[in-house]
Amino acid sequence: MSTVQIDGARFRDRFDAFNEIGATENGGVNRPALSDANRAARDQVVEWFEAADLTVSIDEMGNIFGRREGTQDGPPVLFGSHIDSQYNGGRFDGVVGVLGALEVVEAFNDAGITTDRPLEIAVWSNEEGVRFQPDMLGSGVFCDVFDLEYAYSRTDKDGHTFGDELERIGYKGDRPCEPRELHCYFEMHVEQGPFLEQEGLPLAAVEGVFGFSWMNVSFEGQANHAGPTPMNMRKDAMIGVSDVTRAVRRITATEGTDLVGTVGSVDLWPNAINVIPERAEFTIDLRSYDNSVVETAVQRIQDEIEAAAAREGLAYECEEIMRVDADPFDQGCIETVVEAIESRGYEYTRLVSGAGHDANYLNTICPSSMIFVPSVDGISHRESEFTEWDDILAGTEVLASAVLSKATE
């Protein structure tokens, strides 16, 4: 397998310059999907793609593609990630995959390599799903999981729709967002969990991604004065939230071995120190690599929501807004990653991802897999997210070798 040289200094300069866009005081970035900072980040990527002689196209979902022709026509080798961030998120999540892909193309340019198959870098819209739910919306439409109108109608907490915001930032492109023939897809990403660091390993070949369920839940009770209202006369929406939050923790301890569950967002009305909460809206995120475990957990949590509402005299609504199945990556692509790691002489393990990734949807339309590099202290979705630069460079070398191998087979 080829061991093309990548230029670590060039990559790092770009990484640092890129992360000045939307930089936060505490060393993170604030570039949620379709924000002004996300637009500036997109503009920067497009400028660098064009400078690297990539032909840029934008599709109807604002997914960005940079294409490099091969000596043959035919389906391209696609690789990339995302550049939208969490609110006050980290600098590495998604960015290493996109700028790493660009560095791979630059390295091929430097070495005068022309591949047989065309290459394309993909930058997917709204991977994070933090401003517009569900997540992985750009790759989801591209892979025919969601239709375009559904995606355009997704609305943030301020009432802005995805479609309007995409237009506002100038990234509603012409290219149809629909499945097309691809030779394969690779994505390099930070692990976002503790395993690689605990094992002292620089790399993982990723075998699949946890399945997951996202739910929006609301409880409706009665506002009243916090002083004179006796405890037995209350209909407190917050009690529903706390009962269900405890139930999520209990269910994760008793259902399957890898089930994780989070109540990550709570809104309360009127949210005042001396008023009994009248309304609560909150989210539940449940994940496991076993789809039947996710299904059972969803059923159990729905029963808990009903029981909590009955105990406190609340009305409730519960909507599952997304279900993604766990689906192992393509064995051939996993082995290509393993061979690429071995050809570079690195140690590695095989891992399943707890975090969601666009590669999961891509794997439904073309053979796909991922490369993980370690996350220091297993921290992600936080400003302090960090990955050692040597590990990012190792991942980029492996990405280069895997892409080259698939582009010449």
Q: Is 355 in the site for ligand GLV (CB under 6 A)?
A: yes
Q: Is 135 in the site for ligand GLV (CB under 6 A)?
A: yes
Q: Which residues contact 329 (CB under 8 A, 6 or more apart)?
A: 206, 207, 208, 209, 359, 363, 367, 368, 369, 370
Q: Is 34 in the site for ligand GLV (CB under 6 A)?
A: no
Do the Cβ atoms of 138 and 41 come closer than 8 Å? no
Cα(85)–Cα(89) distance, integer angstroms:
6
Closest approach, Cβ 222 to ligand GLV, in A, equals 34
Q: Which does 356 bind (CB under 5 to 8 A by kind): Mn ion, ligand GLV, none?
A: ligand GLV
Of the candidates 307, 269, 271, 300, which has an alpha carbon nearest to the alpha carbon of residue 284?
300
Closest approach, Cβ 54 to ligand GLV, in A, equals 26
Q: Is 129 in the site for Mn ion (CB under 5 A)?
A: no
Closest approach, Cβ 140 to ligand GLV, in A, equals 12
Q: CA-based angle 258:264:266, to the nearest 5? A: 145
Q: Is 395 in the site for Mn ion (CB under 5 A)?
A: no
Q: Is 326 in the site for ligand GLV (CB under 6 A)?
A: no
Closest approach, Cβ 355 to ligand GLV, in A, equals 4
Q: Which does 173 bind (CB under 5 to 8 A by kind): Mn ion, ligand GLV, none?
A: none
Q: Which does 135 bind (CB under 5 to 8 A by kind): Mn ion, ligand GLV, none?
A: ligand GLV
Q: Which residue is nearest to ligand GLV (CB)?
A: 356
The residue within the footprint of Mn ion, chosen from 66, 70, 94, 277 (CB under 5 A), is 94
CB-wise, 340 or 355, nearer to ligand GLV? 355
Closest approach, Cβ 301 to ligand GLV, in A, equals 18
Cα(190)–Cα(382) distance, integer angstroms:
13
CB-wise, 324 or 392, nearer to ligand GLV? 324
Q: Is 358 in the site for Mn ion (CB under 5 A)?
A: no
Q: Is 278 in the site for ligand GLV (CB under 6 A)?
A: no
Cis peptide before 134 (omega within 30 of 0): yes
Structure tokens at 261: 């569950």
DSSP strand pairing (119-124 vs 266-269): unpaired
3-class SS string, 292-361:
HHHHHHHHHHHHHHHHHHHHHCCEEEEEEEEEECCCCCCHHHHHHHHHHHHHCCCCEEEEEECCCCHHHH
Q: Is 128 in the site for ligand GLV (CB under 6 A)?
A: yes
Structure tokens at 144: 């025919």
Do the Cβ atoms of 212 and 253 come closer than 8 Å? no
How many residues touch ligand GLV under the rule CB under 6 A: the total is 4
Give the footprint of Mn ion on this chain (CB under 5 A): 93-94, 128
Give the footprint of ligand GLV on this chain (CB under 6 A): 128, 135, 355-356
